[in-house]
Structure 1
Amino acid sequence: MTEQVLPFALPAQLDPALSGVADYWRGLIRGKASDMPYWDDVKLSDLGSGADSAMLMTVFDKPQRFRIEIAGKEISTRYGGTLQGTFTDEIDIHSPVEFLRAQASATAEGGAPTYYATDTYTRLLLPLWGEGHVGMLLAGYSWA
């Protein structure tokens, strides 16, 4: 049997800003009971200044949709408008949300971190467990 390759694969090494978000995410995992942390343990303020480049999204199932619950100041500024409270299928697609729905879908379905990069930013999506499924996603951005 061959090993499954997930889309939006992680690079060999993350840049320092995304490494900080990944380390925070790993630190929230409760022992060996799970491969990912529970969404209700996440506090973006724990990321310090990194919270400005972080986002939390709720995962809905059947149909699969993603609602942006919190978008850091830097993300909203670079987007040019409010993202908080919007569904990803209702927003205009431009920087820094290109391929966000596709990446979010891969993260939720695969239950594993994913990565996306452009010339101006990189994005890490991390799954969060809750209510028996991947219930939220934590996003971290790094800017070029």
Structure 2
Amino acid sequence: MYSTEIEVRTGGDAVVLDLTKDAERFLGEAGADEGLLHVWVPHATAGLAILETGAGSDDDLLAAIDQLLPRDDRWRHQHGSRGHGRDHVLPAFLPPYASVPVLGGVLALGTWQSVCLVDTNIDNTVRRLRFSFLAG
């Protein structure tokens, strides 16, 4: 197994951040051939998703999260910015992990798929992510 941690800055807005290039760079460093890429975000207020980006799907996802988990005062978990409690519920819908097959050193993603960090927590603008490669 080969593993490393990276740090990303997400800014002060909810974001869908494409990590695919970071994952590909990691696989190159790992000398990956056949196996499994596992991505882990060790935060209680962020999740990972495999989805299309750049064609509106990332904005649609954030809009859906806003509808499903409104940023208001309904949440029992209340600290930080208004509605921050919803950020703590997010990982139940978008888990803090994702696994992708690696074939011939390349992520076996579909044509429009990307590995993405979904972070709605505007109070924490720096995130750590762990990439692990498990050889097959």
TM bracket, shorter-chain basis: under 0.3
Task: Indicate the structure with greater helix content.
Answer: 1
Alignment TM-score, normalising by the size of structure 2:
0.27
Kindly name which structure, 1 or 2, has the bigger radius of gyration based on alpha carbons.
Answer: 2
More strand by share: 2
